[in-house]
Amino acid sequence: MTGPTGATTGLINAGKIRAIGVSSPKRWAVAPGTPTLAEAGLPGYEVSGWYGLLAPAGTSKAIIEKLYLETKKVLDTEAIRSRLSANSLEPLGLSPGQSTQFIAADAARWARVVLQAGIPKE
């Protein structure tokens, strides 16, 4: 099975399920004995979920920058970092420009997967 960190870490650490690998690029801090799938023999296999704060198209750059700076302040606090880390979540703190590039690259990646798999458009 595959599952989100929060739903599987407790089961892994309790020995109720055996994890063969995590799909993230690095090991989870909450289950450091579990290798990445690349370490487990699937080099290049990486699938990670992500969250982002988005605004409607046409939102002014000043507002976007203010939202970014205020969000980054919160994400940089020890309290938030600890809570995220406990669930193997790591804030990237990408700037608005970096976020745009990240989303475009992720969309292109999954478009290639869909095309290679021959999944029809619906």
pLDDT in tens, 38-82: 999 999 888 888 899 999 999 999 999 999 999 999 999 999 999
Domain count, the chain: 2
Q: Residue 13 has what pLDDT?
A: 81
- Per DSSP (E only), the strands in the chain are none
Q: Is residue 44 domain-shared with residue 65, that is, in the same domain?
A: no
Whether residue 28 is predicted with pLDDT greater than 90 in this model: the reply is no
Q: Do 34 and 11 contact (CB within 8 A), yes or no?
A: no
Cα 34 to Cα 27: distance, rounded to the nearest angstrom: 7
Percent of the chain with pLDDT over 70: 100
Q: Is residue 66 domain-shared with residue 121, that is, in the same domain?
A: yes
Backbone angles phi, psi at 117, to 5 degrees: -80, -10
Q: Residue 53 has what pLDDT?
A: 93
Q: 91 lies in which domain range? A: 52-122
Q: Residue 56 has what pLDDT?
A: 96
Percent of the chain with pLDDT over 90: 55
Q: Is residue 106 domain-shared with residue 61, that is, in the same domain?
A: yes
